[in-house]
Amino acid sequence: MAATEVAVPHITPQTIVGAEEGKELNGIVFESFSHTGTILKGLNELRLKGVLVDVTLRTDGKVFRAHRAVLSACSEYFRAMFSDHTRESRLSEINLHNISPLGIELLLDYIYTSKLALNLANIQEVLSAASYIQLESVVEACLNYLDQQLDLDNYIDVLIISEMYSLKRLNHKVYRFICHHLNVISKSPEFFRLSERQIELILAGDYPVTCTEIEVLGILLRWIQVNCDEPVSTVTAVTAANYRQLIRNNIRFMDISLQELYNLLCSEEFQFRWIDRYELYDFIMKIGEQQCIKYKISPLNKIQNYRGLELAIIKIGGFDLSGITNEITYCFPGDGAHGQASLSSSTSASSSSTVAGKVKLSRNHSSPESGSDSVTIRFVDRTKRKDVKLNGKWRYLTTIPHIKQSNFGVVVLNNHLYVIGGCYDISLEEYIHPFGFRYCPIKNKWETIAPLQQDRCRFSLNVVGHSLIAVGGNSEMDDDGDRSVSTCEQYDPVADKWTYIESLPEYRTQHAGAAFGATLYVSGGLDLYGGVLNSLWSYYSFNEKWEKLPNMLHPRADHVMFTINRKLYVCGGWYEVNGQRVLAESIDCYDLFSKSPAWHQVTRIPTPKYHAGIVAVQDKIYIIGGFCSDDIFRHTAASVECYDVNEDRWYNLKKYPKNVWEHTCANLYIPKYRDDMEVIDDNGEEEDKDDDDDSDNASSTAI
């Protein structure tokens, strides 16, 4: 039968309606969101039925059929095997060694379905197989799973897995977990399975711990006792020297008092058979006598242990160009370099006022057999730095767990951040509240504390002794009380209770407070009629009496007061002249221990601003953000200035990434290694990097 020709009309763009030259073609891009799933479903059905499969994978006597193209698309290992001119590329059957049948079966299910069933029974086999064939997405999934499952029962196994497969992120997480639960973990038998190298990584890793340093030493001694509980003849001098070095290099004796050290070593708990314990104790006490005797713990703001922590400046709440915010951000001052001062047994007592320290040791090694290394000890003061500059990145720390608010009180006690009271707007109406919250940076956790006896905003909140004292401020209860005084409340953190104390005999709001020892000082603010005050009062907590002191040089409201070197400093704020607000341009000082105390001006602020965040770090004063009267949206709302009290010198520092105002600043010790997002500037860009971090011109400019 002859073929029949069929005429097919030739269609050109000109024959389609609306496709004439010069007209838009109205094109679209069609995308099917189910197409990927359809392909995977089809490929998996082909695999299960053995259709078009072209390679067999064999492991431990079991075989699995698959498609080379699918394996190559998912795995770099198979892509290299099948694409290059290798022997395996010509084979129809591939032997996979060191991979379990269960591991390869689960991976093939994932490759063909995108689904992976993980549990504690199969995780290691899946991880081993995924690492072998370089299936990175599965390795990442296993890492995240182990991260979520980490607990006190499996931390040793997870640690072994992280080291076996070089999972650095998981490895750091496990060591951080061990340090965070060190007191509990050290009491379990599993703890003594840790090797000497792992113990050293725990102690040298600079992770935060939730126990004191004397407890860390006790834990280390118990580990040594268990791991070396052998006859003396079987323990070499090298082993003994190694453990002495472990103690010497990783215990921070500057955080231990001599009495604590003596009490620990006198405990009957430690009975070493592998070495003369008196020789070990003598070795420990020699280090302690050079360090512990110089250390004095501050009774205020005591931190359990400084391991893994770094002092940060934090910015709390306030406003930026997007509006009010409850965000808290932080920045580590300086470059992390610490000033050094050598110590010897004859060091003067004045050096003992250090609140926190770290020890560095340099050794003149002798032979291990002699066990008589010469130890030179240098003290590194945490509270003093070569340069205290805000050159680091500002990062997000946390968010106040409350409706967006302002004009709250902020203090730090025992390295816990307290945010109390404040006000918020609903439909342009202000509401004042009494609620308080406490944040622990080590646990990264907020908790609610007892509310104030009365709601407050624009009040002062300070640490006095081991308690908090709130003074004055605005309150919705003002109309019902005596408005000639400012009511005061004291908070006991142990009892979680607020109680009223003696009222300040003068009404005030938008004032400042500072404490030195057991005395609270309150300055300035607005009186009942909105007048700006220049008065200064003191409250001695032991006799619970208020006393009026010499007035400040100028009235101030919305200012900040703090103590440096036994002196009161007032900074920022404003006053009125002929009904007009005027920015306070000076930093003034009041010597608390002068025979004839009086106020005097210390310096003038280069750029006076409203509502800046002001904080003192040792002997330096930082002024962050705020705005001048005519430039709320200009560059000064992001500027950072620093005044060095000792040098009597001002510096312009790296700007804050956003324009900010009406925020509060404070000091808080924060874990050094956190995975926090950087603060993005108002243009949606990251902060500019300095061209040279070591250059003063790049990081700060003297004024």
- 390's tokens: 């805000």
Give the separation between CA 151 and CA 666, rounded to whole angstroms: 34
Asked if the structure places residue 41 within a domain, the reply is yes
Quote the pLDDT of residue 449.
Answer: 98
Asked if the structure places residue 379 within a domain, the reply is no
Domain final position from 98, 127, 149: 149
Asked if the structure places residue 326 within a domain, the reply is yes
Query: One-letter amino acid identity for 406?
Result: S
Domain final position from 116, 149, 182: 149
Residue 469 in 3-state DSSP? strand
Quote the pLDDT of residue 634.
Answer: 56
Domain final position from 103, 128, 149: 149
Q: Report the phi/psi class of residue 301: left, alpha or beta, with left for phi > 0 and alpha for psi in -120 to 50.
A: left
| 454 backbone dihedrals φ, ψ, rounded to 5° | -140, 150
Domain CATH for 447 = 2.120.10.80
Q: What percent of the chain has pLDDT over 90?
A: 60
Asked if the structure places residue 104 within a domain, the reply is yes
Quote the pLDDT of residue 21.
Answer: 63
Asked if the structure places residue 167 within a domain, the reply is no
State the residue range of the domain holding 145: 35-149
Q: Is residue 583 within 8 Å of residue 557, measured between CB atoms?
A: no
Q: What is the largest CA-CA distance in the chain?
A: 128
Q: Is residue 253 within 8 Å of residue 359, measured between CB atoms?
A: yes
Q: How many separate domains does the chain show? A: 2
- 212's tokens: 């004191």
Sheet holding 357-364, edge to edge: 338-342, 374-385, 357-364
Quote the pLDDT of residue 389.
Answer: 58
Low-confidence residues of the chain: pLDDT under 50: 232-233, 295-300, 335-388, 687-698
Asked if the structure places residue 368 within a domain, the reply is no
Quote the pLDDT of residue 264.
Answer: 87
Tokens 């908070």: give the residue: 491
CA distances from 467 to 460, 463, 561, 582, 669 (A): 14, 6, 19, 35, 19
Domain CATH for 123 = 3.30.710.10
Tokens 């009495």: give the residue: 259
Quote the pLDDT of residue 227.
Answer: 77
| 587 backbone dihedrals φ, ψ, rounded to 5° | -105, 120
Quote the pLDDT of residue 673.
Answer: 83
What are the DSSP calls for 588-630, one per residue?
A: EEEETT-SS--EEEEEE-SS--BS-EEEEETTEEEEE--B-TT
Give the separation between CA 50 and CA 46, rounded to whole angstroms: 6
Asked if the structure places residue 678 within a domain, the reply is no
Asked if the structure places residue 163 within a domain, the reply is no
Burial level of 261, CB count in 10 A (0-12/13-18/19+)? Answer: buried
Residue 283 in 3-state DSSP? helix
Quote the pLDDT of residue 388.
Answer: 47
